Amino acid sequence: MFGEFKLSAGGTSSYYFDGRMITLDPEGANLISEAFMPVLTECGAEALAGPTLGADPIVSSVALLSYQQGHPIPGLIVRKEAKAHGGKRGIEGPLVDGARVAVVDDTCSTGASLFLAIDAMEAAGCKVIKVLSILDRHQGGSEEIIRRGYDFFTILEADADGNITPANNKS
């Protein structure tokens, strides 16, 4: 969508990419999962984690597809803060200490939500081996992810005008 939009990462943009329009659509969810599965298999991910809410449908659809393909990759959802009730967890799902985890979000702008999930997974004793997104807005997030030593993969990338093209992954 084009217009004037406030971004969760801060600042404004002349375009908005609503990843949930893809990830909550049955065909879109399947296509995204199929795009991520070879990457997750190649890096040896033992779980896929992501920040709620953008990553929730991605994590779920990848977990389902991975099971159907005979290589189950459990999903983990990272909350902004631990719940004050119930299990009082900051990470939901079958968390295994020491697991090799990939972290995903629908969009990478500044990387703030991805770093929230990365930090939570590492604090829980996991090793983050890959960071993924559907769209890289090239607003510093992917560059910082790579600078910090993480391997980054995205399906699509956008320029400052909102033109979206297939990504040229080279990290």
Distance CA 168, CA 154 (A): 8
Decide if 1 is inside a domain. no
Say yes or no to pLDDT of 85 above 70: no
**74 Rama sector, left if φ>0, alpha if ψ -120 to 50, beta otherwise:** beta
- Provide the residue range defining the domain that includes 98: 19-166
Predicted confidence at residue 16, as pLDDT, reads 74
pTM for the full model? 0.92
Note the pLDDT tens digit of each residue in 19-44: 999 999 999 999 999 999 999 999 99
For residue 9, give the 3-state DSSP assignment.
coil
Report whether 107 contacts 137 (CB < 8 A).
yes
Note the pLDDT tens digit of each residue in 141-165: 999 999 999 999 999 999 988 999 9
Decide if 59 is inside a domain. yes
Decide if 13 is inside a domain. no
* Domains of the chain: total: 1
Predicted confidence at residue 5, as pLDDT, reads 77
Note the pLDDT tens digit of each residue in 16-25: 788 999 999 9
DSSP string over 108-139: ESSSHHHHHHHHHHHHTT-EEEEEEEEEE--S
Decide if 11 is inside a domain. no
Confidence grade of residue 170 (pLDDT, cut at 50, 70, 90): low
Beta strands 100-108 and 127-136, pairing class: parallel
Decide if 8 is inside a domain. no
Decide if 7 is inside a domain. no
CATH number at residue 117: 3.40.50.2020
- The Cβ of residue 89 has, within 10 Å, a number of other Cβ atoms equal to 14
Decide if 171 is inside a domain. no
Decide if 6 is inside a domain. no
